[in-house]
């Protein structure tokens, strides 16, 4: 039985049409590669939400990162090892290690706050990373470092929204401005 592609271009019985088997073969061999291609985005940005939960005295943090960007950064920090980030993969320890280095809250005495890695989850072309940061006191003198993906992309921008009690602030982290006083 012949393919519909082969029948469409036929003029008469036995005559080769627009799509012959020999002309389709290269396309069919290349098709799996085309289907697996992920379109690249033109901008490099992450969005972080930091919301203080007063009852548990914890900052609840969610970081939305383009998955392909995170995979590239992990690869660069692990001798070009290839990473594929998915739900239920075995990469949580690598993601946690990476985030702990690139996202740091420092108190007024310049001590790094403890970060608890909660996990990650996929959403279309992005990965959500979830953290908890125990916190007591005020934000006076506290600093936040957010250099996530900056070693991989010169144009990386990390937007961070901080909600502490009734106060809301937004910070943009980029090359040359990697730390903000909260």
The reported pLDDT for the residue numbered 103 is: 98
DSSP conformational letter for 47: E
| Same-domain status, 17 and 85 | no
What radius of gyration do the chain's Cα atoms show? 24
User: What domain range includes position 10?
Assistant: 4-36
Q: Assign 53 a pLDDT band (cuts: 50, 70, 90).
A: very high
| Same-domain status, 52 and 92 | yes
| Same-domain status, 50 and 81 | yes
Residue 4 has pLDDT above 90, yes or no: no
| Same-domain status, 11 and 64 | no
| Same-domain status, 32 and 49 | no
Query: What residues have CB less than 8 Å from 179, skipping those under 6 apart?
Result: 143, 144, 145, 173
| Same-domain status, 119 and 90 | yes
As a three-state string, the secondary structure of 74-114 is HHHHCCCCCCCCCCCCCCHHHHHHHHHHHEEEECCCCCECC
Q: What's the predicted TM-score (pTM) here? A: 0.76
| Same-domain status, 29 and 52 | no
The overall average pLDDT reported for the chain is 84
Q: How many helices and strands, by DSSP H and E, does the chain display?
A: 4, 9
Least confident of 76-85, 126-135, 155-164: 76-85
Residue 32 has pLDDT above 60, yes or no: no
| Same-domain status, 32 and 50 | no
| Same-domain status, 112 and 136 | yes
CB count in 10 Å sphere of residue 65 = 26
pLDDT in tens, 122-142: 999 999 999 999 999 889 999
| Same-domain status, 103 and 133 | yes
Residue 6 has pLDDT above 80, yes or no: no
| Same-domain status, 82 and 152 | yes
Length of the chain: 182
| Same-domain status, 27 and 52 | no
**Number of domains comprising the chain:** 2
Residue 51 has pLDDT above 80, yes or no: yes
Q: Assign 81 a pLDDT band (cuts: 50, 70, 90).
A: confident
């Amino acid at each position: 039985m012949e393919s519909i592609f082969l029948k469409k271009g036929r003029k008469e019985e036995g005559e080769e049409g627009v799509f012959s088997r020999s002309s389709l073969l290269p396309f069919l061999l290349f098709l799996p590669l085309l289907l697996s291609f992920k379109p690249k985005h033109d901008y490099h940005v992450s969005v972080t939400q930091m919301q203080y939960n007063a009852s548990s005295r914890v900052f609840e943090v969610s970081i939305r990162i383009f998955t392909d960007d995170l995979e590239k950064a992990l690869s660069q920090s692990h001798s070009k090892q290839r990473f594929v980030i998915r739900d239920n993969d075995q990469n949580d320890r690598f993601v946690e290690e990476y985030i702990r280095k690139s996202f740091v809250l420092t108190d007024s005495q310049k001590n790094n706050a403890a970060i608890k890695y909660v996990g990650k989850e996929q959403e279309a072309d992005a990965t959500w990373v979830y953290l908890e940061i125990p916190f007591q006191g005020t934000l006076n003198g506290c600093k936040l470092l957010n250099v996530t993906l900056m070693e991989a992309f010169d144009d990386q921008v990390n937007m961070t929204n901080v909600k502490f009690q009734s106060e809301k602030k937004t910070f943009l982290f980029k090359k040359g401005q990697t730390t903000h006083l909260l």
